[in-house]
C-alpha cells in the first residue's frame, strides 16, 4: 500500500499511497524539544501516540469535528486523508503553563475562567513565532473564513477533550492542534493529539503525564505515556 516516502518530520514519517488523496503516517519513538535542539527517544511512544491520536480523533468526529483520520493500519501506521497543512499551530490553554507562564511571569496551574487561543507561525527556521489572526491574514496563511472555522473547531476540541480527560482523572492543561485543507478546500483537523502535543496532569496530584517530563528531564517519561494511555483505554 505504501509507496514512496513524502516527508520525514521530527516524530512521524509520511508516505504516499496509490490513492493521491490518501497518505500513510508512521509514528516514530523519536522526541525533540526546543525546536529540535534537544533530541531523544521515548521507547514505545510511537505506538501510544498512534493509538491515542486515532481514538481521540474518532471521539472528535462524533462531536462534529472533521478530521484526517481514515483507518488504523498497524501499531504505528495510520491511513489519513491527504491535506495541505495550514501553517499555523493552534494552541488552546485552560490553565497557565509552559511558555504562557514564562511570558507573563506567573506560576503554572492557574485555572482560567475562559480558555485562551493563540497561533504560532509553523516555521522551524523562525522558531514558530507567536502571531495573532491579523498577522496570519496579512501573510495569507489562511482566509478569514478558514480562521473562523479553525477557531470554532479548536474550542469544540477543547470542550470534548477536557470533558473526556476529566473522566480519566486527567486535567487537559493546554494543547496544540494543526489543521489542513482537503483538495476541495474543506478544513479538517490533522497532525496528532497525544502527550507530545498536550499537557496532561493527574487531577489529584497534578503530576505531569506528558512530554514536559522529557522537555524538563524529569524522568519517568515512558511510564507517564503508558499511564495516560491506560486511563484512556479504561474510559474510551
By CB under 6 A, name the binding residues for ligand TMP. Answer: 91, 97-100, 174-176, 197-199
Cell of 195: 502527550
Report the alpha-carbon angle 190-191-193, nearest 5.
Answer: 100
Phi-psi region of 199 (alpha: psi -120 to 50; beta: other; left: phi over 0): beta
Give the shortest CB-50-to-ligand TMP separation in angstroms: 16
Q: How far is the CB of 30 from ligand TMP (least distance, A)?
A: 14
If the CB atoms of residues 77 and 178 are measured against ligand TMP, the closer one turns out to be 178
State how far the Cα of 73 lies from the Cα of 95, in Å rounded to an integer.
Answer: 35
User: Which residue of this chain has its Cβ atom nearest to ligand TMP in the complex?
Assistant: 98
Q: Which residue, 99 or 183, has its beta carbon nearer to ligand TMP?
A: 99
CA 95 to CA 179: how far, in whole Å?
23
- 3-state SS class at 14: strand
Q: How far apart are the C-alpha atoms of 180 and 185, rounded to whole Å?
A: 9
Residue 82 or 199 with smaller CB distance to ligand TMP = 199
Beta strands 130-131 and 187-190 are unpaired
**Nearest residue to 104 via CA among 88, 90, 93, 89:** 93
- Dist. CA 175–CA 117, nearest whole Å: 10
Residue 153 Cβ vs ligand TMP, minimum distance, rounded to whole Å: 16
| 69 or 100: CB nearest ligand TMP | 100
Shortest Cβ 175–ligand TMP spacing (Å): 5
Least gap, CB of 19 to ligand TMP (angstroms): 29
Nearer to ligand TMP among residue 102 and residue 144 (C-beta): 102
Closest distance to ligand TMP from the beta carbon of 219 (Å): 19
CB contact set of 11 (below 8 Å; sequence gap of 6+): 27, 28, 30, 31, 32, 45, 46, 49, 192, 196
Q: Which is nearer to ligand TMP, 11 or 83 (CB)?
A: 11
Amino acid at each position: 500500500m505504501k509507496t514512496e516516502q513524502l516527508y520525514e518530520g521530527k516524530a512521524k514519517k509520511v508516505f504516499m499511497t496509490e490513492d493521491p488523496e490518501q497518505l500513510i503516517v508512521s509514528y516514530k519513538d523519536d522526541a525533540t524539544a526546543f525546536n529540535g535542539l534537544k533530541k531523544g527517544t521515548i521507547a514505545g511512544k510511537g505506538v501510544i501516540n498512534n493509538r491515542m491520536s486515532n481514538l481521540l480523533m474518532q471521539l472528535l468526529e462524533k462531536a462534529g469535528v472533521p478530521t484526517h483520520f481514515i483507518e488504523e493500519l498497524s501499531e504505528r501506521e495510520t491511513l489519513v486523508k491527504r491535506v495541505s497543512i495550514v501553517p499555523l499551530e493552534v494552541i488552546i490553554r485552560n490553565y497557565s503553563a509552559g511558555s504562557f507562564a514564562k511570558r507573563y511571569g506567573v506560576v503554572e496551574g492557574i485555572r482560567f475562567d475562559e480558555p485562551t487561543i493563540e497561533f504560532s507561525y509553523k516555521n522551524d527556521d523562525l522558531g514558530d513565532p507567536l502571531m495573532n489572526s491579523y498577522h496570519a491574514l496579512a501573510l495569507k496563511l489562511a482566509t478569514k473564513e478558514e480562521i473562523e472555522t479553525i477557531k470554532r473547531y479548536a474550542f469544540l476540541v477543547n470542550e470534548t477533550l477536557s470533558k473526556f480527560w476529566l473522566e480519566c482523572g486527567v486535567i487537559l492543561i493546554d494543547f496544540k492542534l494543526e489543521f489542513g485543507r482537503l483538495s476541495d478546500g474543506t478544513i479538517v483537523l490533522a497532525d496528532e493529539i497525544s502527550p507530545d502535543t498536550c499537557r496532561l496532569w493527574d487531577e489529584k496530584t497534578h503530576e505531569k503525564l506528558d512530554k514536559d517530563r522529557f522537555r524538563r528531564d524529569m524522568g519517568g517519561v515512558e511510564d507517564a505515556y503508558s499511564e495516560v494511555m491506560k486511563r484512556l483505554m479504561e474510559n474510551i
